Structure 1
């Protein structure tokens, strides 16, 4: 009892200093529905809304430095290279159209993604995905030849259609390899896929058209790998050299005057981009959007600051992690950054 009284006296005598940080305050809908004002209010909203506002701020800085000489940036050698990384579920979802928009208008400089994100973009040009149900009876939909990605349904027939389209492309590539002694890499394969699909709905069509390299270090980890197996089972010898892309990506990071990272999800796409930035002693600006937690020691869940210890982020880097599933927030981020800059430039 005496100890509790002593602690109370200590607290009572404390002279609190005034808190000078902004007041937490939400949006007042009595002002009407103004989406710009709503998203700007996130700065002092608290919790993940404030993290989202920080992500918007950092990406706008990337865009500012990427645009080249301006009032604050007279030197074109300070141009920022923007690396975009995303997992396959982003292309399964409606974020595919958001990413396509960025590639279409040359708003990014390089992509790192997974095999699923390549094949599903191509499949969506050939066929369709559909809204499904998280609580689906998976045994029943298996019997209906439907594959499930969360609440997204993918008709299994899509994979047959992709194979029918892809095997002749592999044959064409195999002939070029034999006759021209050309060794393919994942990025050169993806560029050829984008050229051959010839569909403006495709992310990789626009990447091929706008010369945006797409790196996929695990290109064989999916249906594309299965189809490579099928092709090589009948006609052995098609080669895909991943080392060429490691060299290309690392050099792209190494020679960047400033480096900005936008990464949706984790795993190989996050690590591959960050690891490349070791060659320049870390990225300058970074935004991570995923739901991973740090307690299992995974790279996906790691706090961004952990990357500083590896030299993946600079000691003075600006970075933020938004704990969110990316379909919820990435369209909002693009609306307040890339799309806003593009629309403003059109009005000038």
Structure 2
């Protein structure tokens, strides 16, 4: 028995390693101190699990913002660049999201960022474009996942938009101009010259309208290659860059690939519920992008495994909107 105990001790009583000085100690918020939302969120970093990832995401975004606030010194060659390619700040912030973000109340959070020019480039899906315009005509109501498709089909109304320009981004800018509605994300993108790329613009009701238009008025061409050139060039000419991506798929891949052209992004925050075992782009962890050179090896990107409708407004409240001050007209001061 004594021998058995001695052997057990050899396996159980292993000498602990000393923790590094900068190790984070787990500690949550003490509600005996009262309900203070900012303090609760501040303790997310030391809470563990996805709460700690949330805390690290705040740090990532604030690093982007800090870099972005620095004056950018352009070389003579950069001064000659087309304004769309010329770096506007020391850190270009790319925002990507799937269409369901615009269908939800996250639309207002995205609009806030575009309205006050807190981001530099947007990549989204066709639904991420058309849902914004649809809401300008009529509100979207809270539904039920159990509603039957056969009952919904007769209630769908198509809204035809006019404007025949050369690329999807120019089409989106024109629609943003024509909608002339301050509730629209893309009105503010047009007004603040924030390029919006939607490489799969035909994958939605806009595609249906373009299909009908092509028969009634043949000759319209949307040059996707020109948009890819523009998006990749914006990244390539950036001094530094950061990525904030809600969801996966097309927006995530295109933003990653654009940053590949500059040797990788410096910062990255990803919010989605996808797992890596299904082989999806959304499920791929940030380190996968590091292996491609889409994120710099020196970067510390963060992925939050969570529903973006829960996380993103709270994340913006602790970063972009934290020190935001507006005048009576809602404009930033």
- Per-residue Cα deviation, 1:22-64 (whole angstroms, up to 9, x for no partner): 3212111111111110110101011001101111110001000
Evaluate the alpha carbon distance shift between residue 16 and residue 199 of structure 1 in structure 2; reply closer, same or farther with a 3 A threshold: same
The match for 1:143 is 151
Distance 1:226 1:39, change over 3 A: same
Cα deviation digits, residues 59-113 of structure 1 (max 9, x gap): 00100010114xxxxx646700000000000000000000000000000000000
Task: Please name the residue that 1:257 is paired with.
Answer: 239
CA gap 1:42/1:252 in 2 versus in 1, 3 angstroms:
same
The equivalent position to 1:121 in structure 2, one of 121, 132, 137, is: 132
User: Are residues 1:281 and 2:259 paired?
Assistant: no
Q: What SS does the corresponding residue of 2:24 show, helix, strand or coil?
A: coil
Aligned partners of 1:5 and 1:76: how far apart in 2? 69
Which residue is equivalent to 1:151? Answer: none
Unaligned runs of 5+ residues in structure 2 are 75-88
In the alignment of these two chains, the number of paired residues is 314
Alpha-carbon shift at residue 342 of structure 1 (Å): 2.1
Which structure: greater strand fraction?
1
Among 78, 89, 93, the alignment partner of 1:82 is 93
Secondary structure (helix, strand or coil) at the match of 1:280 reads: coil
**Displacement, 1:143?**
2.3
Q: Say whether 1:16 aligns with 2:16.
A: yes
Instruction: Tell me by how many angstroms 1:203 deviates.
Output: 0.2
Match of 1:291?
273
RMSD over aligned CA atoms reads: 2.2
* Local SS of the residue matching 1:82: strand
Q: What is the rounded CA distance, in whole Å, between the counterparts of 2:152 and 2:171 in structure 1?
A: 33
Counting only pairs closer than 5 Å after superposition, residues 315-334 of structure 1 correspond to structure 2 as 315-334=297-316
TM-score, length of structure 1 as denominator length? 0.85
More off after superposition, 6-15 vs 86-95: 6-15
- Per-residue deviation at 1:330? 0.2
Q: Take 2:4 and 2:217, find their aligned partners in 1: how far apart are those partners?
A: 81
Match status 1:222 vs 2:204: yes
Q: Where does residue 62 of structure 1 map in the other structure?
A: 64
Match of 2:118 among 103, 107, 119: 107
Structure 2 residue 325 is matched with structure 1 residue 343: yes
1:226-261 deviation digits (Å, cap 9, x = unpaired): 110011122221100000110101110001000100
Q: 1:91 to 1:7 in 2, by over 3 A?
A: farther
| Alpha-carbon distance in structure 1 between the residues aligned to 2:9 and 2:274 | 43
- SS of the residue corresponding to residue 289 of structure 2 reads helix
Separation in 2 of the partners of 1:84 and 1:144? 32
Alignment of 1:19-38 (within 5 A): 19-20=19-20, 21-38=23-40
Cα distance in structure 1, aligned partners of 2:13 and 2:29:
37
* Structure 1 unmatched runs, 5+: 70-74, 147-154, 174-182
Change beyond 3 A, Cα 1:12–1:117: closer
Q: Is the 8 A contact 1:68 1:76 kept in 2?
A: no
SS in 2 for 1:112: strand
Matched, 1:242 2:239: no
Q: Structure 1 residue 343: deviation in Å?
A: 2.9
Task: Give, in whole Å, the separation in 2 of the partners of 1:43 and 1:347.
Answer: 29
Alpha carbons of structure 1 residues 7 and 259: separation in structure 2 relative to 1, 3 Å: farther
Deviates most, 58-67 or 337-346: 337-346
Q: Which moved more, 1:294-303 or 1:11-20?
A: 11-20
Q: Which stretch of the first structure deviates more once superposed, 335-344 or 205-214? A: 335-344
Which structure: greater helix fraction? 1
